Amino acid sequence: MTDRRPSRTDHRTDAIMRAALDLALELGYAKLSIEAVANRAGVGKHTVYRRWSSRGLLFLDAVLSLNTEGLSHSNTGDVVADLRETMIKAVDVLGRPPWGPLYQALIGEAQHDPEVAAALNQRFIEPQTADTLARLKAAKDQGELAPDFDLDLAFDMLSGPLYYRLLITQQPITHDYIDRVLQAAFAGMSPRPPTR
Amino acid sequence: MTDRRPSRTDHRTDAIMRAALDLALELGYAKLSIEAVANRAGVGKHTVYRRWSSRGLLFLDAVLSLNTEGLSHSNTGDVVADLRETMIKAVDVLGRPPWGPLYQALIGEAQHDPEVAAALNQRFIEPQTADTLARLKAAKDQGELAPDFDLDLAFDMLSGPLYYRLLITQQPITHDYIDRVLQAAFAGMSPRPPTR
């Protein structure tokens, strides 16, 4: 970046991402074009391309701008409650209308565009995984988790079913569903008495 | 269908689906067209459209033709071993090259095309879920599963992490990963003695 005038740049960046989201909601992602986004945002195509080399990367930033705040975990001493809070927040933003279908479209794009897939992982999935792992490690240190609990797999076990619902069965991801996933994922978390 | 000459129809159908797979492997799904598939299969475009109303639905049938056989569960009396066998077979076909990227592309298409999403569920996901559930019910009847094991969620807990890896992190789905998922999903399956 040669041109460094932060406030104007940020203002334009926000306007472009907002225009991308508005147009995707109106037209669907399939019909989104850099040209239409530039027109809606009142900037030239070059201004958009200077920052984003493809429609997919622009759309990624636009979708992530919705929720990068506020998805880190609390530590109240109750690991399941803390994970539940973050899962509900994430699903409320990305797992249901109006933004859920745009997040679906973004992941659909990631199946065809390796740059979008890599950026999605670096910018969103990996930080979320690390934050979840840190919360789980704290729980293990506090004796909340059984010694054989697979910490490194936990994010996949918790978010896998949510993505499965979003992308495959496309059924609503209700709070009840989140509770059942937590229950199943943590069924073997702690020592249990024999149930006979 | 007005024209009912089974053997010729089946032969053509197979040739068209095979052509779709070959072309998708060569060019990638994004560049697949009904016209190119018809040319490769040596039939007219109308012959293709008579059976499939869209590229996505043709591609779905072509991908499912790879594996609809052989993914039902055995019952050897060991539910985890039987699930493992089917998961490995499914991942070996749909979860790694050469067909894995085509299955990814198909699911990508399902994010933009509700007809493809619905057909994927009706033709593949729902029968697989039902077969898994039947195997789990037998295990419950045989006393292999704890009374509070969430049968209806089990398919999501087992396949969710596999889809998450295929579609989101895009890391290899190794047999070791499948074993860890099974271990985590069944950690609370049966009564455990206190570990203290």
Give the model confidence (pLDDT) of A44-99 as tens digits: 999 999 999 999 999 999 999 986 567 899 999 999 999 999 999 999 999 999 99
Which of B64, B129, B156, B195 is most worth mutating to test chain A (most A CB atoms within 10 A of its CB)? B156
Residues B74, B80 contacting (CB under 8 angstroms): no
Are B193 and A188 a contacting pair at CB < 8 A? no
CB atoms within 10 A of CB B109: 24
Report how far residue B181's alpha carbon sits from residue B134's, in angstroms, rounded to the nearest whole number. 20
B71 within some domain: no
Indicate whether A23 and A96 sit together in one domain. Answer: no
Are B156 and A164 a contacting pair at CB < 8 A? yes
pLDDT above 50: residue A20: yes
Indicate whether A84 and A25 sit together in one domain. Answer: no
Domain count for chain A:
2
Report how far residue A62's alpha carbon sits from residue A58's, in angstroms, rounded to the nearest whole number. 6
Chain B residues inside the 8 Å CB shell of A180? 150, 153
Which of B103, B111, B116, B182 is most worth mutating to test chain A (most A CB atoms within 10 A of its CB)? B111
Are A156 and B157 a contacting pair at CB < 8 A? no
Indicate whether B87 and B179 sit together in one domain. Answer: yes
pLDDT above 70: residue A173: yes
Q: Tally C-beta pairs within 8 A across A and B.
A: 146
Please give the pLDDT value at position A70.
77
Report how far residue A104's alpha carbon sits from residue B128's, in angstroms, rounded to the nearest whole number. 23
Please give the pLDDT value at position B192.
46
Indicate whether B33 and B126 sit together in one domain. Answer: no
Determine whether A98 is exposed, middle or buried from the number of CB atoms within 10 Å of its CB (0-12, 13-18, 19+).
exposed
Indicate whether B114 and B18 sit together in one domain. Answer: no
Indicate whether A107 and A155 sit together in one domain. Answer: yes
Report how far residue A99's alpha carbon sits from residue B163's, in angstroms, rounded to the nearest whole number. 21
A196 within some domain: no
Are B108 and A104 a contacting pair at CB < 8 A? no
The token pair that represents A8 in the structure block: 């104007």
Determine whether A165 is exposed, middle or buried from the number of CB atoms within 10 Å of its CB (0-12, 13-18, 19+).
buried
Confidence of residue A177 (pLDDT cuts 50, 70, 90): very high
A87 within some domain: yes
Task: Give the CATH number for residue B44.
Answer: 1.10.10.60
Report how far residue B195's alpha carbon sits from residue A192's, in angstroms, rounded to the nearest whole number. 8
Are B170 and A121 a contacting pair at CB < 8 A? yes
Please give the pLDDT value at position B195.
47
Residue range B69-113, pLDDT digits in tens = 678 999 999 999 999 999 999 999 999 999 999 999 999 999 999
Task: Give the CATH number for residue A155.
Answer: 1.10.357.10
B62 within some domain: no
The one-letter code for the residue type at B162 is L
Complex ipTM: 0.90
pLDDT above 90: residue A183: yes
Which 3 state secondary structure label does DSSP give B62? helix
Name the residue range of residue B113's domain.
79-185
In DSSP notation, B140-166 reads HHTT-S-TT--HHHHHHHHHHHHHHII
Please give the pLDDT value at position A148.
85
Residues A24, A59 contacting (CB under 8 angstroms): yes
A142 within some domain: yes
Indicate whether B181 and B128 sit together in one domain. Answer: yes
Q: Which of B37, B31, B68 is nearest to B51 (CA)?
A: B37
Indicate whether B113 and B172 sit together in one domain. Answer: yes
A13 within some domain: yes
CA of residue B180 relative to chain centroid, distance? 20
Chain B residues inside the 8 Å CB shell of A108? 107-112
Nearest to B180 among A112, A153, A181 (CB): A153
Indicate whether A141 and A87 sit together in one domain. Answer: yes
